[in-house]
Amino acid sequence: MSVVETAYGPVRGRAEDGVTVFLGIPYAAPPVGPLRLRPPEPPEPWDEILEAADFGPTAPKNPYAAPLDALLPDPDVPGDGWLNLNVWTPAADGGPRPVMVWIHGGSLRNGSSAVPVYDGRAFARDGVVLVSLNYRLGIEGFGVFPDAPANLGLRDQLAALAWVRENIRAFGGDPDNVTVFGESAGAISIGALLASPHAKGLFHRAVLQSGAPSAVSRDSAARTTSAIAEQLGIEATAAAFAAAEPGRLLAAQREVTRRGNPLTGGLGFQIVVDGDIVPEDPATALARGAADGVDVLLGSNTDEYRLWFVPSGLVDRIGRVTLRAAVLKQRVPWRAPRVYRAGRPGASPGEILGALATDTLLRVPFNRLADARTGRPGGTFLYEFAWPSPVRRLGACHALEIGFVFDTLGTADSRLLTGDGAPQELADAMHGAWVAFATTGDPGWPRWDAGRPVMTFGADGPHVVHAPREEERRLWG
């Protein structure tokens, strides 16, 4: 067993196959009682050794709705101390080693660091100190109130990163070589952190997987808060919500947000332009150079949309009339369906709409950000994950790449998306690229330039493709 002294007290981890693991370390006080719906506060110090042997409590959340509940396990650990983190290290008495901090996704209302696919031992095996964290979710983390600060979940992430800067050297990590990486809502959070003045110096590189920088106005985000308040019959204030029983909040949240998802819209939770943590739209700030000097790795999966469109049967219910209406409503370039269909012989209207949605939300914004950063300080690298899962026609869907990045294809949870026999050599390549990027700032392929190089992780192995599907991308300007 290994005991490490943190700024708040000693913690004891356990050794597993040459890696020492510390689970459930508090980085902030439990956000309950008078601290509910307030910014995170430091944890109370402790004198006795904290046994960091089990994952800490997860933030209150509803389970994923069917059919996603069968594809995306979401562990629920009871307790109030949700603001905790985990550390996997090759050895706490060595270093300093590069540090990677994982911020999970889940539409800002699901997920936790306890998901088995996020196990950090492969990173520690390869010389990286891996940190994963929990943050407040849903109305508790991203509600918008007149009497409380916005973006509480994002403030939690900042508090965790400050903990890393203060404590990670004791775990063998280098506080001057920290890479944040995240997927979906985790990547969107990182986009906001990249543009936030409050995050300066907390990390030096960033990986955004399937989540482009974005934020909305307070008024827009407050629609979800108001709808939940109406469902509960209370005022849309932090005082009223803090007095409500958490189970009632979750039930109302589920009812209000059950029809929303990242591709089709509907009420949900977003990061808010609050004039403080997020002073302005992150995409705009980053295009102007807000993260100059920070190396970034950006990418998405070829068939992101399939996670929502295929298991639900939506892809087969969309016909030409629905496609045409969606194109008009979303102001998609009028030539787009014809151009996309030419590159996808035999694709159904639902598949065309899904490809358009994927590019609108992810590929095009990432290309624009990479273009804006060209020639500026800090490297920019793009990737595409293209390996198609054989499970339920999912293809290269949203979240599929995570097991490859973490090199956890052998877990039962990973196989829910990948099936059996996913290519380990592709995981070796992708995981190795993330380790290399965190270590040196170079994942192993050319940085973005006028040739538009994209490392493609596909069925035929990793290879660089220059300007993939360029005719489609040019439609968007």
- Residues paired with 182 in a beta bridge: 103, 208
pLDDT value for 266:
79
Position 289 pLDDT exceeds 90? yes
Name the one residue in this structure whose structure tokens are 């809502």: 185
Catalytic residue among 140, 304, 351, 472: 304
Name the one residue in this structure whose structure tokens are 């192995």: 461
Rounded to whole angstroms, how far apart are CA atoms 225 and 148?
A: 13
pLDDT value for 264:
66
pLDDT value for 326:
87
How open is the CA angle 110-195-451, to the nearest 5 degrees? Answer: 100
Pairing of strands 84-89, 461-466: unpaired
Q: Among residues 332, 386, 385, which one has the least CA distance to residue 361? A: 332
Average the pLDDT over each of 42-51, 256-265, 293-302 and give the range with the smallest value: 256-265
- Residues paired with 360 in a beta bridge: none
Rounded to whole angstroms, how far apart are CA atoms 405 and 422?
A: 13
pLDDT value for 16:
85
Contact (CB, 8 A) for 124 and 133: no
Contact (CB, 8 A) for 418 and 409: yes
Rounded to whole angstroms, how far apart are CA atoms 237 and 224?
A: 13
pLDDT value for 263:
65
Contact (CB, 8 A) for 311 and 68: yes
> In the predicted model, what is the mean pLDDT of residues 42-65?
97
Q: For the segment 338-382, what is each residue's pLDDT rounded down to a tens digit?
A: 999 999 999 999 999 999 999 999 999 999 999 999 999 999 999
Contact (CB, 8 A) for 37 and 143: yes
Rounded to whole angstroms, how far apart are CA atoms 306 and 350?
A: 10
- DSSP string covering 265-278, please? B-S----B--SSSS
pLDDT value for 329:
83
Q: For the segment 66-116, what is each residue's pLDDT rounded down to a tens digit?
A: 999 999 999 999 999 999 999 999 987 777 999 999 999 999 999 999 999
* 281: its two tokens: 């739209």
Rounded to whole angstroms, how far apart are CA atoms 365 and 380?
A: 14
Contact (CB, 8 A) for 77 and 114: yes
Contact (CB, 8 A) for 84 and 114: no
Position 260 pLDDT exceeds 80? no
pLDDT value for 319:
94
pLDDT value for 333:
87
Q: For the segment 118-169, what is each residue's pLDDT rounded down to a tens digit?
A: 999 999 999 999 999 999 999 999 999 999 999 999 999 999 999 999 999 9
Q: Among residues 82, 220, 232, which one has the least CA distance to residue 153? A: 82
pLDDT value for 258:
87
DSSP state of 389: B
Each domain of the chain, given as residue ranges in start order, spans 2-474
Q: How far is CA 223 from the centre of its chain?
A: 23
Beta strand extents in 138-281 (DSSP E only): 173-183, 205-209
Q: Torsions phi, psi of 48, nearest 5?
A: -70, 155
Q: How far is CA 173 from the centre of its chain?
A: 22
Catalytic residue among 107, 300, 384, 398: 398
Position 387 pLDDT exceeds 80? yes
* CATH topology classification for 2-474: Rossmann fold (3.40.50)
184: annotated active-site residue: yes
Q: For the segment 189-221, what is each residue's pLDDT rounded down to a tens digit?
A: 999 999 999 999 999 999 999 999 999 999 999
> In the predicted model, what is the mean pLDDT of residues 22-51?
97
Q: Among residues 273, 267, 269, 260, which one has the least CA distance to residue 136? A: 269
Rounded to whole angstroms, how far apart are CA atoms 382 and 366?
A: 8
Catalytic residue among 107, 112, 113, 184: 184
Q: Residue 1 — very low, low, confident or very high, per pLDDT cuts 50/70/90?
A: low
Position 395 pLDDT exceeds 90? yes
204: annotated active-site residue: no
Q: Among residues 167, 152, 161, which one has the least CA distance to residue 205? A: 161
3-state SS assignment for residue 449: coil
> In the predicted model, what is the mean pLDDT of residues 434-456?
98
Position 449 pLDDT exceeds 90? yes
3-state SS assignment for residue 179: strand
* 370: its two tokens: 């990479």
398: annotated active-site residue: yes
Q: How many CA atoms lie within 13 A of 170 on its CB side?
A: 19
Which amino acid, residue 330? Q
* 425: its two tokens: 């050599």
Beta strand extents in 171-293 (DSSP E only): 173-183, 205-209
Q: For the segment 401-441, what is each residue's pLDDT rounded down to a tens digit?
A: 999 999 999 999 999 999 999 999 999 999 999 999 999 99
Q: For the segment 291-337, what is each residue's pLDDT rounded down to a tens digit?
A: 999 999 999 999 999 999 999 999 999 999 999 998 888 788 889 99
